[in-house]
Amino acid sequence: MSTLNPDKVTKALETPFIREMAEITQHMWRNGWDERNGGNVSYLLDEEEVAKYLDIHQVIRVIEPAFPVHELAGKYFIVTGSGKYFKNVLQDPAGNLGVLRVTPDGSKLELLWGLENDAKPTSELPSHFMSHIERLKVDPDHRVVIHNHATHVLAMTFIHDLDEAKFTKTLWEMCTECIVVFPDGIGIIPWMVPGSSEIGRATAEKMKEYHSVIWPQHGIFGTGTTVDEAFGLIETIEKAAQIYMLVAHHEIKQRITERELSDLAAAFGVTPRPGILSL
């Protein structure tokens, strides 16, 4: 890493959305979910918010996306960089993050801040953009997509049936809060080579119905209206997967019953995905 200007770093971290990205990537790295350059985050920003801190009329360079994103034309994002280590973001935000604007015709990306030294946006940007497009159709308040390699979720995909209903029910049974946090369940795609438009399309297809999608033997995607919500979703799923991995090889003497799961959902005013509980 090149020598950094402390004043420049301090100024960057005074920008709320830059600081939020720097802090959440640090949390995920410390949790062990983003080894080396694993994981990526994208955060949809309001133009008014960006304009408070950055010169939106000053384009540093133009980046060619993997495909046109007409549905996101004119929108602003802060994203993690390709090949960047999450452990370094807090110390060097401009070298590891970038603020992008999609051009009005949706054909290009304009870099407004960051991604210094010709760094590129995350290689998973196709998956992120496709997921943003589908989640915005379902929820206009949607803002965040997080991908990481949550350890116990990844481990669980080696030993548990990858049927979405069965996987979801197992996770619901692990922690009382789970059915409340993700009543829509968990989407799962087949193993695929990462970084491609194909895996992006498969993930986005699941995002039509789910807030979170698991990539078997790889990791998880979580979405939300805020960074906290998206992170908290993954955090809850990971905790449930951790408990499963702790108890999977032991005799289970008691568990949360289907009736209790149904009562939980009713008490918190959420509707469980149909077809998972048999009540």
- The verdict on 160 and 115 lying in the same domain is no
- The verdict on 77 and 185 lying in the same domain is no
pTM of the predicted protein model: 0.95
* 277 within some domain: no
Rounded mean pLDDT of the chain? 96
- The verdict on 165 and 217 lying in the same domain is yes
CATH of the domain at 56: 3.40.225.10
Rg over alpha carbons for the chain, rounded to the nearest Å, is 19
pLDDT at 76: 98
Q: Quick check: is 47 catalytic?
A: no
- The verdict on 170 and 69 lying in the same domain is no
* 199 within some domain: yes
- The verdict on 57 and 108 lying in the same domain is yes
- Place 1 in a pLDDT band, splitting at 50, 70 and 90: very low
* 127 within some domain: no
The residue from 47, 116, 124, 173 that is catalytic is 124
Q: For 139-156, write each residue's pLDDT tens digit.
A: 999 999 999 999 999 999
* 171 within some domain: yes
- The verdict on 152 and 262 lying in the same domain is yes
**88 within 8 A of 95, measured Cβ to Cβ:** yes
- The verdict on 171 and 113 lying in the same domain is no
Q: For 218-241, write each residue's pLDDT tens digit.
A: 999 999 999 999 999 999 999 999
Is pLDDT above 90 for 279? Answer: no
Spell out where 134-232 has E strands: 144-148, 187-188, 212-215, 219-224
End-to-end CA distance of the chain: 57
The mean pLDDT value for 42-56 works out to 97
Is pLDDT above 90 for 4? Answer: no
- Place 66 in a pLDDT band, splitting at 50, 70 and 90: confident
- Place 132 in a pLDDT band, splitting at 50, 70 and 90: very high
- The verdict on 114 and 153 lying in the same domain is no
**127 within 8 A of 121, measured Cβ to Cβ:** no
Number of domains within the chain = 2
* 131 within some domain: no
Query: Which residue range is the domain that position 73 belongs to?
Result: 6-122
- The verdict on 42 and 103 lying in the same domain is yes
* 236 within some domain: yes
The mean pLDDT value for 74-80 works out to 98
Residue 17's H or E segment, with its range, is helix 16-30
pLDDT at 3: 59
**21 within 8 A of 78, measured Cβ to Cβ:** yes
Say which residues have a Cβ less than 8 Å from residue 96's Cβ, sequence separation at least 6: 25, 80, 81, 84, 85, 86, 88, 89, 114, 119
- The verdict on 26 and 91 lying in the same domain is yes
- The verdict on 115 and 158 lying in the same domain is no
Helix, strand, coil fractions of the chain, as percent rounded to 5: 45, 15, 40
